[in-house]
A and B are shown apart, each in its own frame.
Chain A
């Protein structure tokens, strides 16, 4: 499903070239549950951004669902993000002025779905994260765990193939973290490919496969 070959991502900082990702080869299968771990600056977030088509590699190839992404323009990448990829962020990234339901609706608003269909899908997505009774609340009226559940509902509402989570429990207490982990693992069991960047060793040990990065290179890749 995901195929990276000889992938590099270099940044120029002053006169120095920082190799955020250095000749990475990676194969992730459909429905896999992968944790990416590593210290700060090891390149794990860069890897996730490239997998999510938010960033483009300096060199190497990235094939997603059999389609090479290297020749895609901005609009084509936006289309893939819209239809195939769901994102969850550490800081939730909800739009503060919109209600939970409206936040969940955003991806469909952008893709231009008709309102009737949208309503149904929003209801389903909120039901899946058990927030039906909070649909009219704005983010500031929700707890951290509830906000992340809204974000998860938003990430799955377009029925993507891959769910990319960047430290999804980083801003949450342990009880909320457990809930969120449980929720995304359920989604994975429902057929979604799940890739999580995390610091949390507990979460890393729960995944099917653990990848560890150091200085832009994969140093560990093991199945749990």
Chain B
């Protein structure tokens, strides 16, 4: 039998039973659509997260106190569980000698009550320098971000998030007012426009103040982080070495800091989302196999419905193998066109979802389309084999005397 004859015969059967064909197409297409949609959500989530990181820039180095490393039985101090040396503002100042660093933003984090005109609320505090604005790519709604502040100079100024402004100042203009923060007072110089989160804190709820003011406020010299922005990405490895060298020297020769590259963090997130998307895709593939089983069931029924036709084909000289091919071809056409329908539906739906939720990017990955198509075809073959085999093994005499 010629290939196009096989296709023609299979197609003519599928057209002959439109309802059955439609149901199987829907079953397969839902499976494929599920793969496309779920992987689109996974990839969208990855895009969202890495986008957040990219906003911060990939040329950032983060210096953290403490060494995240397991060393086998180190010094007695390690055994005693002595805390690592603090990272201080002076450490941050010392990093200014590295020329390849563009900006340095130390960070102190804490929480304390803020008060204005009898209204009080507890606010997260970030103590830093003006570089922070550029490093985080924040934007100001009004005013300036910590004017006149440097690593070693800290006039009593602060910048507030939008929610702090509306909650404490109401309709009053916040800029120029004195805000009481803990036992200190600082003049509000600006309001941050940016929404979202920074270091896990809602930006709209924070108060940002000079780093020295914050260390004095919390009566604690230690920094939470130092963020260093490299002039060029290719210099980052050298900068990392320099930072470790300088801090080590300042910390009595003890390497007690961890320096991570922002892009490395992003990369590991990327890997996590790769796995997540694949997991979502595999879960959705199960529905493809369910569709395959459905095809098998319906085709088994079809074999008994079409007994007399199978008998006739045998009487006019069809070999068992040819009957087998005919039914497998039908299953493949069913699952294949179902998959193509599912691809169209899946991609259309993601486009619609993009319009409906413009902030979240739905990105169906290319591999998901390929994999779902192949999984659908393979399940078509696997689940078409049993009915095809049953058809080819039919006794022609019984088949011919069966239903007309």
Contacts and interface: CB of A to CB of B under 8 A. Distances in A.
A114 B311 CA distance: 24
Contacts of B312: 89, 93, 95
A83 B316 CA distance: 9
B171 interface: no
Contacts of B340: none
Interface string A83-122: 1000101010101111000000011011110110000000
Interface stretch (A74-82, A129-137, A195-203): A74-82
Contacts of B313: 106, 110
Nearest to A96: B16
B12 A78 contact: no
A107 B5 contact: no
B16 A97 contact: yes
B309 A110 contact: no
A156 to B, nearest CB: 12
Nearest to B393: A74
Contacts of A79: 317, 319
Interface residues of B toward A: which range?
A: 20 to 34
A81 B320 contact: no
A114 B3 CA distance: 11
Interface in A10-55: 49, 52, 54-55
A75 B317 contact: no
Residue in A52, A109, A110 with the greatest tally of chain B CB atoms within 10 Å: A110
Contact of B13 (A89, A97, A114, A115): A97
Contact of B316 (A49, A81, A97, A98): A81
B1 A110 contact: yes
B317 A83 contact: yes
Interface string B313-339: 111111111100000000000000000
B241 interface: no
Given A109-B2, A110-B322, A112-B2, A87 B316 contact: yes
B397 interface: yes
Contacts of B309: 93, 95
A54 B315 contact: yes
A82 to B, nearest CB: 2
B316 A82 contact: yes
Given A54-B396, A55-B397, A98-B12, A82 B404 contact: no
Contact of B9 (A74, A109, A115, A158): A109
Contacts of B397: 49, 54-55
Given A55-B397, A97-B15, A107 B1 contact: no
A154 interface: yes
Interface residues of A, number: 29
Nearest to A52: B315
A78 B308 contact: no
A78 to B, nearest CB: 4
B3 to A, nearest CB: 10
Contacts of B311: 93
A74 B319 contact: yes
B308 A107 contact: no
* Most central of B12, B15, B317 by chain A CB within 10 Å: B317
Contacts of B25: none
B296 interface: no
A89 B396 CA distance: 13
Nearest to A81: B317
Interface string B282-320: 000000000000000000000000001101111111111
Interface in B346-404: 396-397, 400, 404
A78 B319 contact: yes
Contact of A75 (B1, B2, B320, B400): B320
Nearest to A89: B400
A40 to B, nearest CB: 13
A82 B317 CA distance: 4
B317 A110 contact: yes
Nearest to A154: B316
B92 to A, nearest CB: 82
Interface string B1-40: 1100100010011011000000000000000000000000
Q: Which 3 A-B pairs have the closest CB atoms?
A: A82-B317, A97-B16, A107-B316
Interface of B: 1-2, 5, 9, 12-13, 15-16, 308-309, 311-322, 396-397, 400, 404
10 contacts: A54-B396, A75-B320, A79-B317, A87-B315, A91-B308, A95-B309, A106-B316, A109-B9, A112-B5, A154-B316
Given A75-B319, A78-B319, 8 more contacts: A55-B396, A78-B320, A79-B319, A89-B312, A93-B404, A106-B313, A110-B313, A112-B5
